[in-house]
């Protein structure tokens, strides 16, 4: 029985005794218990009102393995002190322990605290709301007040450092020019024209400028072989393994050794991390990278090939919230996407599907003049029922460079070294 119910019971007994007996002592006891309840109600109401809670998030974007920092400030706007106030955070970010109990907050003063959280799972998460809770000194009555302010944070998937990436047989840097103008410098000079406002100074052709006595800039064509296309298979049913909710204490999470960080035992998480790693590797090499996947039903998520950190951020944002809920078999996806690939592009296919049919899609890409690197996530090592040897052999026979990533294996090492069947 709670203290509030105990006091109510004592008040009821006192009232019954006062009515039946009529003595002043019973009336005095009833009045005292009634006053105690009223004071407790008023005290608890004042405990959660005339308060302002502000939270400041250092960044709205993080990555698995990074520390998220938030600064909280609880301000007492009244002149009356607060005996104690509990700020209970309801954020959905795993292992985010931002709740605090603030004791003895004088009038017109504030208390602050900082919450540091190690991001352990990719996705889009909410920060907030927060519930303020307080009560009277005797603990007779408590009251809650919700601060509904909610913001979001996007956690990118983890990436791993690649020292090298397997290149298809016959691959050479550069290639035949694609007659499409580039807004950046490539190896294929296409001509010259007069300077226009906004042109970069490193494109100025100083020889022609001196000869014609006016600024002349060089034009460049796109190089199709410099394009890298990443095709990620997110068909429902092609992946095995479950993603468990990660919940650690604050001290345990912050003391985690990230050098031994292990991906969740799911082919989906491995495939997403591989796609993020490959995209980061080629963007940092100043290559033009495109991305394609079917993450939900027949919905297509595609990013045209582009360069720079902005393109990498777009890919990472897509991968952060992508899940294996697609209905399109990977072979159909490859055939559909092949129409958008320029001849000579390098296509990186990532799948955990044991269906041998997607080797046919890879073969069609190769016959169309593309070069394919097929990264297979071995579902059998994750507890899957189907062996992957047949699909690995079919991909190799189709002419693709094949790499196999197994459960518990370092992703970077598996991609860099030749596959052993």
| pLDDT confidence of residue 183 | 53
Closest CA to 272 of 293, 241, 299, 256: 293
CATH number at residue 355: 3.40.50.410
The answer to whether residues 63 and 312 touch, using CB atoms and an 8 Å cutoff, is no
Residue 166 lies in a domain: no
277 and 376 share one domain: yes
Confidence of residue 148 (pLDDT cuts 50, 70, 90): very high
Domain containing 8 equals 3-47
Percent of the chain whose pLDDT exceeds 90 = 57
Say whether both 400 and 361 belong to one domain: yes
Do residues 338 and 301 share a domain? Answer: yes
> Residues 14, 42: one domain?
yes
249: helix, strand or coil: coil
> Are 268 and 288 members of one domain?
yes
Across 90-104, average pLDDT: 92
Residues in contact with 409: Cβ distance below 8 Å, sequence separation at least 6, in sequence order? none
Q: Give the C-alpha separation, 267 to 349, whole Å.
A: 14
Would you say residue 164 lies in a domain? Answer: no
State the average pLDDT over residues 404-420. 87
Task: pLDDT band for 47, please (50, 70, 90 cuts).
Answer: very high
Q: Is residue 380 part of a domain?
A: yes
Q: What is the per-residue pLDDT for 419?
A: 60
Tell me if 171 is assigned to some domain.
Answer: no
Q: Are residues 229 and 215 in the same domain?
A: no
Structure tokens at 96: 């985010």
Indicate whether 101 belongs to any domain. Answer: yes
Domain count, the chain: 4
| pLDDT, average across residues 168-183 | 51
If pLDDT is split at 50, 70 and 90, which confidence band does 200 have?
confident
Same domain, 9 and 54: no
Cis peptide before 129 (omega within 30 of 0): yes
Alpha helices in 240-301 (DSSP H): 250-254, 267-284
Statement to judge: residues 280 and 318 lie in one domain? yes
Looking at the domain assignment, is residue 356 inside a domain? yes
| CA 280 vs CA 48, 129, 162, 276: distances in Å | 48, 34, 9, 6
Q: What's the pLDDT at 260? A: 54
Sheet holding 216-222, edge to edge: 178-181, 216-222, 188-194
**Helix, strand, or coil here: 138?**
coil
Question: Whole-structure pTM over 0.85, yes or no?
Answer: no
Residue 76 maps to which CATH number? 2.60.40.10
- Can you tell me the mean pLDDT for 164-190? 58
| Domain match, 243 and 362 both | yes
Q: How far, in Å, are 90, 127, 130, 283 from residue 148 at the CA level? A: 10, 10, 7, 40
More confident residue, 55 or 217: 55
With a cut of 90, say whether residue 181 has pLDDT above it: no
Q: What is the pLDDT of residues 270-320, one digit of tens each?
A: 999 999 999 999 999 989 999 999 999 889 999 999 889 999 999 999 999
Instruction: Return the higher-pLDDT residue of 174 and 98.
Output: 98
Task: List CB contacts of 359: < 8 A, sequence separation 6 or more.
Answer: 391, 394, 395, 397, 398
Mean predicted confidence (pLDDT) in 97-123: 93
Q: Are residues 56 and 100 in the same domain?
A: yes
Sign of CA dihedral 389, 391, 394, 399: negative
Which backbone phi and psi does 46 adopt, to 5 degrees? -65, -25
Q: Assess if residue 105 is contained within a domain.
A: yes
Q: What is the pLDDT of residue 26?
A: 86
Please give the Cα distance from 189 to 186 (Å, whole number). 7
| Domain's final residue, options 170, 200, 222 | 222
Q: Hey, which residues does 75 pair with through a beta bridge?
A: 52, 110
Which pLDDT score is estimated for 188?
A: 56
Q: Is residue 170 part of a domain?
A: no
Say if residue 122 is in the same domain as residue 271. Answer: no
For the residues 214-228, what does the mean pLDDT come to?
A: 72
Q: Are residues 38 and 54 in the same domain?
A: no
Within 147-266, residue ranges assigned H as helices are 206-212, 250-254
pLDDT of residue 177: 46
Q: For the residues 309-333, what does the mean pLDDT come to?
A: 95
């Amino acid at each position: 029985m709670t203290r509030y119910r105990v006091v109510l019971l004592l008040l009821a007994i006192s009232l019954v005794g006062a009515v039946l007996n009529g003595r002043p002592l019973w009336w005095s006891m009833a009045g005292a218990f009634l006053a105690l309840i009223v004071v407790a109600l008023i005290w608890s109401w004042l405990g959660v009102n005339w308060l302002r809670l502000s939270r400041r998030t250092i960044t709205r974007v993080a990555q698995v393995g990074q520390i998220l920092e938030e600064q909280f400030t609880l301000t007492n706007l009244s002149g009356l002190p607060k005996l104690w106030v509990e700020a209970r955070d309801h954020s959905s970010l795993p292992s985010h322990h931002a709740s605090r109990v603030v004791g003895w907050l004088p009038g017109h003063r504030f208390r602050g605290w900082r919450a540091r959280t190690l991001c352990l799972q990719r996705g889009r998460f909410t920060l907030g709301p927060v519930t303020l809770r307080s009560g009277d000194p005797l603990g007779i009555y408590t009251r809650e007040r919700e601060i509904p302010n909610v913001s979001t944070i996007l956690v990118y998937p983890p990436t791993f450092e690649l020292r090298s990436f397997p290149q298809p047989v016959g691959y050479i840097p550069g290639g035949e020019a694609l007659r499409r103008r580039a807004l950046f410098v490539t190896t294929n000079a296409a001509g010259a024209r007069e300077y226009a406002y906004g042109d970069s100074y490193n494109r100025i052709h100083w020889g022609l400028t001196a000869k014609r006595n006016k600024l002349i800039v060089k034009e460049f064509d796109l190089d199709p072989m410099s394009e890298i296309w990443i095709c990620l298979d997110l068909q429902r049913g092609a992946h095995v393994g479950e993603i468990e909710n990660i919940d650690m204490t604050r001290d345990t999470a912050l003391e985690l050794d990230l050098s031994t960080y292990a991906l969740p035992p799911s082919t989906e998480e491995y495939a997403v991390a591989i796609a993020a790693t490959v995209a980061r590797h080629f963007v940092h090499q100043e290559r033009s990278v495109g991305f394609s996947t079917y993450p939900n039903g027949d919905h297509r998520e595609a990013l045209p090939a582009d360069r720079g950190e902005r393109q990498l951020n777009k890919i990472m944002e897509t991968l952060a919230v992508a899940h294996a809920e697609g209905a399109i078999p990977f072979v159909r996806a490859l055939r559909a996407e092949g129409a958008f690939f320029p001849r000579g592009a390098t296509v990186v296919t990532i799948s955990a599907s044991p269906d041998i049919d997607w080797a046919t899609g890879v073969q069609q890409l190769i016959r169309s003049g593309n070069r394919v690197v097929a990264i297979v996530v071995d579902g059998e090592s994750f507890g899957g029922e189907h062996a992957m040897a047949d699909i690995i052999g079919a991909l190799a026979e189709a002419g693709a460079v094949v790499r196999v990533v197994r459960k518990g294996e370092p992703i970077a090492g598996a991609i860099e070294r030749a596959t052993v069947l």
